[in-house]
Amino acid sequence: MSSMLFLFLSPIIPNAEASCPRSCNCPNTREVHCTFRHLTSPPFNLPRDSERINLGYNSLKGVTASDFGNLLKLEMLMLHGNDIKFVGPGTFYNLRHLQILKLSYNKLKTIYQGMLEGMKGLVRLHLDHNLIDFIEPFSFNGLTSLKLLQLDGNQLRDLHPHTFVTLSFLGHFRSSGLHHLHIADNNLKYLLPGILRPLSKLESLSVHENPWICDCNLRWLLEWNKKHMGAIHCKKDSGDGVNCATCVSPQLLNNSQVFQLKSEQLDCKRPSIDSPLKTGEISHWEGTEPDLPYIKDLEPPLGHLTFTLSDSHGNVAHVACEVSRPSESTSVIWETLKNSEIIVNVTLMSHLECDIDRDELHNMWRLIAYYYESPALLERGAKHENTSKIVFQYSQAVEEDSSYFTDLKGHIMAEPSWLLQPRITLQLNRRKTTTKKLVLNFSTFLTSHKETYDKVMSSWAVIQRGIATQIKSVVQGSNVTFECNVHSSGQQHVEWMLPDLMLLENVDSENIVTEDNKLHIKNTTVSDSGLYHCLVKTEMDVDTVSFRLAVREQPKQSDLNGKRISLDSGGVLTLDCSVSSPHPSETSWYLPNSKILTTSQPKGRVSMLQNNTLVLKNVSHDDTGVYSCLAVNLYGVDMLSHLLVVTDERMGKREQVSINENESPLSETKTEHEGSGYEETEYQFPKQQKTFGKERWPGISRGGKGNRGKHSSRKVNKIVQE
């Protein structure tokens, strides 16, 4: 009887051995080891009280919410060394106590919003040595305890400025609790300046083994590193060696250690062609400066504020203003309490920009002119009832250290309404105020105690940069297509801005059209040369990337800044063209009869080597003409042009060469035989004939007038004949 009772009761008696999955080893009741078991999915019966689980070095293909949803006490999860290609939404949502997640050495390609949601206690996240080429902005939002993020050994190229945000507040204020960030051994050529701004607590950053473009766009990172006392570290190799961040371009800085350079060494200059055959520079290309859109003018405002104010002197003014984006002086300070509650304190610094006529400006000036050295402090009063919008009464607070008190009072309406905080300050910005625009410095303080983080609902976009297709050089009459590659949330509208900074949609042109994200330029002329800008606007941000087009016209006398070479028929022509330029850049040879040669396009007996050297074998009289090496980057153009004359060795005859169509042949005036075996021949050039009846200037688009996204203080494009 007793034995039967034992058999009946035994299945419900707790047993540590029975709770451990068959294919795993459990050293104790809270630890599970399942390594090297050829598992294709996590065991379904993992103990609910587990605190540490190791599923490393198996054959897992993916993980979903059903795999770990009931492991509420889990503190460490090891998934490294698998074949994981996907992580389902909400997979880790219930793991509020998880502190370490290791997904190293898997096959993940993208990190998306929601993939890591829920892990409020996560401290260390290892995503190194995957195939990750893009991380959606705000993917780490909500991981408010995260201190270390390991992303080494991936394929990252383009990082959005909000990639590493771990806390977002009201959709406009962002911060990050990261102390250690590792993004070494990726495909990063650049970093956007705003990407480290939210990372106020960052102590160490590793960026070595990336193909850095060392131009002016990297200066900010050098300054950041100095300000943060060398937070960017080199990697110690075996022995005494170190692995530091190095440049891949321009050529003059190749293999230089990035953070041993001076800021002035990182410049954005047009290409420089260095050749012993170069006799001078082409003057109309020197000093060329690209004209860029002023991004601040394109950004959407933070909000709108309308107020009516009066003072003790009887002055009254009503004005409506745009609230500009938060300035860099805005601070976001936050901390996580033991109960996972978050305290967020924001000091908002901004500007109010108010379009105003002369009479309104006069009235407002009498109200606010006292407060240009120190601001007026206004305190919130009663809320106005019976209005469709939120309106509060405000009145001036007495301050002991204030020089003036004029008893300012009135009512203020704002969108979004959170701008109406208990205290705000207004200060006249005399430097920026004009006869048509009043500018006020605006500040306020926001504080919040939160149990949950704000989910980011706004759209985002980032345009791919640093690619060869940003540069194109063609001959007149060619058709050109630029494509703007965009990573975005949903379908975002792409706009194009022309070299004169007019938006294409405001220009009437049949030769320049758009299709999807592409810009088509038909039947190009020299006047089409210049910078074209792709723009993508979202609710929060604007991103822009420039593309350069260089259109080569028929050669003229002024283009010849190399040698005039005489070569016997049947010989070999070799012309060097050593170019120094930051990427992206393009170098090509323009041959007689408007042919273009690049390193990837050999044409029979003529070829262009990897070092840009032109080799022409078995020359004949048909090869007589101008040979131009054209180097183009985003900042300008350089060209080296030679004139080749092929002679008949037996007859001693030389071909007559015309530089432009419809011009008379060049007449030979002097011949000198050099020790090199080449003959240098001087020619008299006929007077240059204009190609067009009316000169057209590069940078001026075809079509009519339109809105310009250009800051009033920026320089106008200088002529660039490309």
Q: If you write DSSP's letter for every residue of 206-260 in order, what string do you get?
A: E--SS-EE-SGGGHHHHHHHHHTTS-B-PEE-STT-EE--BEEESGGGTT-BGGG
CA separation, residue 203 to residues 121, 190, 290 (Å):
20, 20, 37
Q: How far is Cα 107 from Cα 86, in angstroms, rounded to an integer?
A: 8
Structure tokens at 9: 């009761």
- Half-sphere exposure at residue 662, Cβ-oriented, CA atoms within 13 angstroms: 5
Beta-carbon contacts of residue 471 (< 8 Å; ≥ 6 apart): 547, 548, 550, 584, 585, 586, 632, 633, 634
Q: Is 656 helix (H, G, I), strand (E, B) or coil?
A: coil
Residue 533 or 403, more confident: 533
Q: Closest Cα to residue 99, out of 71, 119, 72?
A: 119
Residue 368's φ and ψ, nearest 5 degrees, are -110, -10
Q: What is the mean pLDDT of residues 502-511?
A: 85
pLDDT of residue 19: 82
**Tens digit of each residue's pLDDT (9 = 90 or more) over 204-261:** 999 999 999 999 999 999 999 999 988 998 888 776 678 899 999 888 899 999 999 9
For residue 497, list its beta bridge partners: 503, 533
Structure tokens at 465: 């940069």
CA separation, residue 409 to residues 79, 351, 379, 693 (Å):
62, 20, 9, 65
Q: What is the mean pLDDT of residues 422-451?
A: 91
**Tens digit of each residue's pLDDT (9 = 90 or more) over 260-295:** 999 999 999 889 998 888 888 765 555 555 667 777
Beta-carbon contacts of residue 260 (< 8 Å; ≥ 6 apart): none
pLDDT of residue 604: 79
Assess whether pLDDT exceeds 50 at residue 4. no
Confidence of residue 650 (pLDDT cuts 50, 70, 90): low
* Token pair 């401290």 in the structure block, residue: 123
Boundaries of every domain in the chain: 2-265, 299-450, 456-493+501-722
Confidence of residue 719 (pLDDT cuts 50, 70, 90): very low
**Tens digit of each residue's pLDDT (9 = 90 or more) over 376-421:** 999 999 998 767 788 999 999 988 777 789 999 999 999 999 999 9
Residue 458 or 99, more confident: 99
Q: How far is Cα 638 from Cα 234, in angstroms, rounded to an integer?
A: 36
- Does residue 416 have a cis bond before it (omega within 30 degrees)? yes
Structure tokens at 722: 């490309």
Reported as type and span, the H/E element at residue 512 is strand 512-515
Structure tokens at 135: 């991380």
User: What's the mean pLDDT when you consider all of the chain?
Assistant: 84
- Indicate the residue type of 569: S
Q: What is the mean pLDDT of residues 89-116?
A: 96
* Token pair 């060795």 in the structure block, residue: 649
Q: Is 619 helix (H, G, I), strand (E, B) or coil?
A: coil
Beta-carbon contacts of residue 262 (< 8 Å; ≥ 6 apart): none
Residues in the chain: 722
pLDDT of residue 388: 78
Assess whether pLDDT exceeds 90 at residue 81. yes
Considering the four listed CATH numbers 1.25.40.10, 3.40.50.300, 3.40.1010.10, 2.60.40.10, the one that applies to the domain covering 456-493+501-722 is: 2.60.40.10
Assess whether pLDDT exceeds 90 at residue 136. yes
Q: What is the mean pLDDT of residues 648-664?
A: 48
Q: How far is Cα 234 from Cα 366, in angstroms, rounded to an integer?
A: 58
Confidence of residue 663 (pLDDT cuts 50, 70, 90): very low
Q: Are 207 and 259 in contact (CB under 8 A)?
A: no
Beta-carbon contacts of residue 571 (< 8 Å; ≥ 6 apart): 618, 619
pLDDT of residue 664: 33
Confidence of residue 336 (pLDDT cuts 50, 70, 90): confident
Structure tokens at 671: 């011949």
Q: Is 527 helix (H, G, I), strand (E, B) or coil?
A: helix
Structure tokens at 707: 């809105």
The secondary structure of residue 261, as a DSSP letter, is S
Tell me which CATH code domain 2-265 carries: 3.80.10.10
- Half-sphere exposure at residue 361, Cβ-oriented, CA atoms within 13 angstroms: 14
Beta-carbon contacts of residue 187 (< 8 Å; ≥ 6 apart): 133, 155, 156, 157, 210, 211
Assess whether pLDDT exceeds 50 at residue 617. yes
pLDDT over 70 percentage in the chain? 84
Confidence of residue 670 (pLDDT cuts 50, 70, 90): very low
Q: Any long-range contacts for 682-688 (C-beta under 8 Å, 24+ apart)?
A: 682/564, 683/564, 683/643, 683/657, 685/557, 685/659, 688/556, 688/557, 688/558, 688/660
pLDDT of residue 275: 84
Assess whether pLDDT exceeds 60 at residue 672. no
Residue 526's φ and ψ, nearest 5 degrees, are -60, -35
- Does residue 250 have a cis bond before it (omega within 30 degrees)? yes
- Parallel, antiparallel, or unpaired: how do β-strands 110-111 and 134-135 relate? parallel
Q: What is the mean pLDDT of residues 179-194?
A: 96
Q: Is 246 helix (H, G, I), strand (E, B) or coil?
A: strand
Q: What is the mean pLDDT of residues 618-644?
A: 91
Q: Are 468 and 584 in contact (CB under 8 A)?
A: yes
Q: Is 65 helix (H, G, I), strand (E, B) or coil?
A: helix
pLDDT of residue 454: 66
HEC profile of 122-168 = CCEEECCCCCCCEECCCCCCCCCCCCEEECCCCCCCCCCCCCCCCEE
Structure tokens at 599: 């390193």
Reported as type and span, the H/E element at residue 66 is helix 65-68
Assess whether pLDDT exceeds 90 at residue 667. no
Q: How far is Cα 607 from Cα 586, in angstroms, rounded to an integer?
A: 16
Q: Closest Cα to residue 485, out of 473, 475, 470, 474?
A: 470
Structure tokens at 668: 């030979």
The secondary structure of residue 364, as a DSSP letter, is H
Longest Cα–Cα distance in the chain = 128
pLDDT of residue 11: 43
pLDDT of residue 602: 66
